[in-house]
Structure 1
Amino acid sequence: MSSTEKLRVAILDDYQDVGLSSADWSPVQDRVSVDVYTDTATSEDDVVARLQPYPIVCAMRERTKFPAEVIDRLPNLKFIATTGPRNAAIDVAYANAKGIVVSGTSGKGNSTLEHIWALILATARYLVHEDANVKRNAQKWQTYIPLGLAGRTLGLVGVGKLGSMTAKIAKAFDMRVVGWSPNLTRERAAEAGVEFAQSKEVLFRQSDIVSVHMVLSDRTHHLIKESDLLLMKPTAFFINTSRGPLVDERALVKILQQHKISGAGLDVYEIEPLPSDHPLRSLDNVTLTPHTGYVSDSMYEAFWGDTVDNIVGFLEGKPKRVLTA
């Protein structure tokens, strides 16, 4: 590469086309040439074909996968800048072994917590449905009866930092909060201010709203099964803002189709973007959002501001916010 030739940078999966506008790219504009992709390459071959020319790739969350097989087919790749402090879609250990630096970013604000409660309230109060009825001038002025939260039980599958914060807000609504996870102890539940559910089954039976707050791993894939969902009250709601594969989605669809629970609020899915013919799109008892739980203007400022700073660090031979396995 000549001294005047710019390094090529790819911004991937920028659905909202915000990567360039959310940060000041002037610190690198004389040294890099940036291409923005607002769609997602759907196969490994497509990913490789797209990224062959790029030594620097900016990954937006976990939308494009970088397993060892893809990394091996990208000999020009030298640096991956991912948004967020971790990215399970990147084989970081293998990248590091191949001499590829991976850097993450900080975040800002409480967008996921805000979205959890936006989705709980929208679902339990049927906001989307009533909004649609008013706008289409439906004959009935009021259609649905919302679930009152005071005195109800919120069941948290996962009581880490986000689950604990969710519990605090639930108590402001005068809700009872119970928690369960494979590793949760009675002591840790008490520290988080939630009641300890002795089993997953107990939590699903007792809860009026179940909200999922787990990290996806091989161990937690399909952690929530049809047998769990069938334990829920017919008046209960299921909320997932964590990761789609934590839940057996086919089972959830079946239970919603059969109206065995009152409804669900979902921000995450087994396949994203959600296929156009997916049965969830046609159900009348779901509130769906397009994995925007982490999205906010302040979060994007942190993501992309740090991304530019990470690229500067890499170009200067002083990588920042480096991720290791």
Structure 2
Amino acid sequence: MSSKSVLRVALLAGGTSSEREVSLKGAKAVHSALLELGHRVEFFDPASDLLNLVQRAKDFDVAFLVMHGPGGEDGTLQGFLDMLGLPYQGAGVLGSALAMHKGLSKILYERVGLPVPKGKLFKKGISLALMRDYAHSLGFPLIVKPATQGSSVGLSLVENEYALDEAVEKAFEVDKEILLEEHLKGRELTVGILGEEPLPVVEIQHKAKFFNYETKYTPGLAEEICPAPISKELTLTAQEYALRAHRALYLRHYSRTDMILVEDKIFVLETNTIPGMTETSLLPLSAKVAGLSFKDLIEKLLRLALESSS
């Protein structure tokens, strides 16, 4: 297929997760880019339009996913599209499921030698006393977060033992498994992978205690600097870690791995299989510094999706 061929694209966004609004915002930017590229685009919301997509799957060459959270980024939708025979960008079923589960991804990071924060997974119904004991062994402050949510949904920075129970309850409201993890204070970095190649490192600077949902999506609360003002050695290490994380989780096409730099050591936190896709989102920013416009990025992802299916 030539680079100038017109594609029939099913754009999927929305869904039922707590990240629905973020998904829809990104889809607007992607929709505009697809039209500017000359492709034919139709929008489908998995919350209401899946039957329609089943009936019309043969009308499309490729799907473009701007989905976040459970039901869109965890392999569920990917398996659905596989059954329809409709190619899509990003991780397949296995990679999506592994990356979405922070407990499993942490294990896989460690197996390929990536440094990670200390932490432990707890299932709903476990004794609060056991979690309190583990929290004390870990030390305060610490992070409590759901195992399978994105955008910091349900995540809390726990300053002392008195705030622990409320944070645990908050996390269990949105997930059946949660992580208690040491809080590492340092510089926040993120590195995108595009087609098996690392993109420039981004540093995220903000004044919040941690990079929470409000800080991520409220203009002006965070500043993204790319390329990150770190040494060449640290830059190469961060890029190597991102690629190792990408491969450890069986990902493809693209991903974005979040890290924290503590003094001169980088720790891997988590990997996003469908990174935010507004023109000012982190991966598009990094791609722009690497010489790819937002439209170029969208086009490359479409081509990667089609190459995987051929």
Higher strand share: 2
Higher helix share: 2
After TM superposition, the score normalised by the length of structure 1 is: 0.33
Greater gyration radius:
1
After TM superposition, the score normalised by the length of structure 2 is: 0.35
